[in-house]
Amino acid sequence: MIKMALLILSLFLFPAISFADIQLTDEQFENLDVLTVQMKKKDANFLGFNGSKQNMKIVGNVSEDDVKKELSKIDITAKKKERDDNDPMNQKRKSGTAKLKASIQGITTDELRAMGLKVEE
């Protein structure tokens, strides 16, 4: 009987997922992935964004006001740079580009074109 009561209580205590409307700036809308990562670090109950620019909703058992407050504190430019710097794929791309540049030093533009490569001036 006690177990049953506890089960019922736990069901009531289990946080339901809610969907609250939120108005985002253009910059915020274009960087939803950055904002989502940062918001999840601040509040595990935040599950993400869903919808269109005109009709965006926050998903999770979170307060709309708290989310708005936290969003306004996020420096999107800095967080994007931080993400790109720490992205292993980005690092590989950068090192690959550097190696490619080094390996083609001394080759002229005409020669590259003759090899069938498109070279922009």
Partner 1 sequence: MLKKIISAFLTFNLIAFPVFAADQWDKTMPAGTTNISDIDAVMGVNNAALDRLVYGYRVNAEVTASTTNAIIVLPGELAIPNSGGTVVRWRRNTSGVTANWSDIDTGAESSGAVTQYYVYAVADTDVTTFTVKISLSSSSPSGATYYRKIGYFTNNAANDIVSVGNIAGGDVVNQIQASGVTNTTTTSSSYADMDDMVIYFVSSGRPAELTFNAPIEGTDTSRVYFTFDVDGTDYGERSFYPSGGNGGNTWAYSDLHHNLSLSSGTHTIKVQWKSGGSTTYQDGASASSTRPHGPRKLTVREL
To the nearest 5 percent, what fractions of the chain are helix, strand and coil? 60, 10, 30
Buried b (16+ CB within 10 A) or exposed e, 32-46: eebbbebbeeeeebb
Smallest separation, CB 49 to partner 1 (Å): 5
Q: Shortest gap between Cβ of 12 and partner 1 (angstroms)?
A: 18
Asked if 22 is part of the footprint of partner 1 (rule: CB under 8 A), the reply reads: no
Q: From the CB of 35, what's the least distance to partner 1, in Å?
A: 8
Q: Which stretch binds partner 1 (CB under 8 A): 27-35, 67-75, 95-103, 105-113?
A: 27-35
- What's the rounded Cα separation, in Å, for the pair 34 and 36? 6
What is the rounded radius of gyration, in angstroms, for the C-alpha atoms of the chain?
24
79 binds partner 1 (CB under 8 A): no
β-strand partners of 20: 58
Binding status of residue 85 toward partner 1 by CB under 8 A: no
- Stretch of 2-10, 28-36, 68-76, 102-110 lying at the interface with partner 1 (CB under 8 A): 28-36
Interface residue list for partner 1 (CB under 8 A): 17, 19, 32-33, 35-36, 47-55, 57, 59-60
